[in-house]
Amino acid sequence: MTIHRNRRAGVEDRWRKSDGTPTSNAGRGKRWRARWVDDTEKEHARGFERKVDAQQFLDTVTTSHVMGTYVDPKRGAVTFASFYREWSSRQVWVPGTLRAMNLAADGVTFANVAMVELRTSHVETWVKAMQVHGLAPGTIKTRFNNVRSVLRAGLRDKVLAVDPSTGVSLPRRRRADAAMTVPTPKQVGTLTNTADSDFVAFVALAAFTGLRLGEAAALQVGDIDFLGRTIKIQRQVQRVNGGEVEIRLPKYGSEREIPAPDGLLEILAEHVRLFIGTLNQAAWLFPGKNGHPMHQNSVGYRWRKARKDAGVDDLKLHDLRHFYASGLIAAGCDVVTVQRALGE
């Protein structure tokens, strides 16, 4: 049988006994003390000058127990920065996620504020600071969501009573900035005609399969089934801290097999014949340096040259993904089919 300690809770007078006679503490320190016991049977106490203040505080603590929002004062005293370091060390993240989370958490203006003391105003001040420093609305939203995940972890760990990010307004993207850019068939044709010969296949892949940069760069010869007319996406290229090239699984749920049109397969077959020179299934389709495939920087350089030569300087490589999606929609594909084809 479990034995519980006597749960002493209430407001007590430190200066007077119940019969009105003075205690040994009379005249010393704060007269009124609120006592309570948390869910782990640990006793707590806090002193007050006035009885009414002690009772109001105790009522608040009692309500928080009932509502499930009680926070241990000592645990809640941990700062945001300290909590993030401890919490993030337990997370199963890929390097890219870790970098993004660190960037967001390290940039808050309330890093040294105790978790239990965080208020909506702290988060609003941080959001305003990001806007003042010229961060784009999309960037602010991403960092806000990353920090919000830390705050919600604080709720689960009982170091926060409420989420201070709730109700915070974020800067809105201008309609022109938020609009999706879809290249025209003529622009795509010009790109494939003017791109460097060993980069044509990369442009064609992006336009006619909607692959992400990292997915296209990580393709191997064996991923292309020329007879079955399909392409397997089962890895991606990431460059860590602008240096080391890493090959890893695609983002969650993005491994897929997609159909490849005949025209694209012809371009890919010619690319393999001219620039790869081998049918080794593990050969990179777009080789870079030191045995690695091309990566974000090298592809970016080639893309900027291609779009300049094609006279479409405003287009982004990601816009070719929009071109592919718009083609699927025009062909009558439903939303779910389009999302699966894009690996969303």
CATH label of the domain that carries residue 99: 1.10.150.130
148/193 same-domain check = no
The per-residue pLDDT for 2 is: 39
Same domain membership, residue 24 and residue 124 = no
Domain count of the fold of the chain: 3
Report if residue 74 sits inside a domain.
Answer: no
| pLDDT on residue 64 | 62
Same domain, 53 and 91: no
Alpha-carbon span 84 to 266, nearest angstrom: 51
Together in a domain, 131 and 215: no
Q: Residues 130, 93: one domain?
A: yes
**Among 239, 216, 227, which residue's Cα sits nearest to residue 303?**
216
Is residue 116 located within the same domain as residue 200? no
| 307 within a domain of the structure (yes/no) | yes
Among the candidates 177, 199, 226, a domain finishes at 177
Q: pLDDT tens track of the chain, all 344 residues?
A: 333 444 567 878 888 888 888 888 888 888 888 887 776 677 777 788 888 887 877 776 666 655 555 556 666 578 999 999 999 999 988 777 888 999 999 999 999 999 888 999 999 999 999 999 999 898 999 999 999 999 999 988 888 878 999 999 999 876 555 567 888 999 999 999 999 999 999 999 999 999 999 999 999 999 999 999 999 999 998 877 666 778 888 776 688 899 999 999 999 999 999 999 877 899 999 998 888 899 888 999 999 999 999 999 889 999 999 998 888 888 888 788 878 888 87
Of the candidates 179, 185, 207, 181, the one whose C-alpha atom is nearest the C-alpha of residue 303 is 207
Q: Which of 26, 43, 69 is at the close of a domain?
A: 69
* Angstrom distance (rounded) from CA 49 to CA 57: 12
Provide the residue type at 246 as one letter. E
Residues 14 and 118 in one domain: no
Closest by Cα among 65, 58, 47 to 10:
58
Give the angle 299-303-306 at the CA atoms, nearest 5°. Answer: 140
Is residue 59 domain-resident? Answer: yes
The predicted pLDDT at position 11 comes to 79
Any domain includes 2: no
In a domain, 1, yes or no: no
190 in the same domain as 171: no
The answer to whether residues 191 and 166 belong to one domain is no
Residue 257 lies in a domain: yes
CATH number at residue 195: 1.10.443.10
290 in the same domain as 169: no
Q: Any idea what the Cα angle at residue 97 is, between residues 257 and 320, rounded to 5°?
A: 45
Residues of the domain holding 84:
80-177
At 222 the pLDDT is 93
Structure tokens at 3: 């034995």
Helix (H, G, I), strand (E, B) or coil at 140: helix
Boundary (domain end) residue, out of 127, 161, 177: 177
- AA identity, residue 136: A
The answer on 229 and 208 residing in a single domain is: yes
The DSSP call for residue 115 is G
Do 50 and 90 fall within a single domain?
no
Query: Cβ distance 306 to 196 under 8 Å?
Result: yes
Instruction: State CA 272 to chain mean position distance.
Output: 37
Instruction: Classify residue 295: in a domain, yes or no.
Output: yes
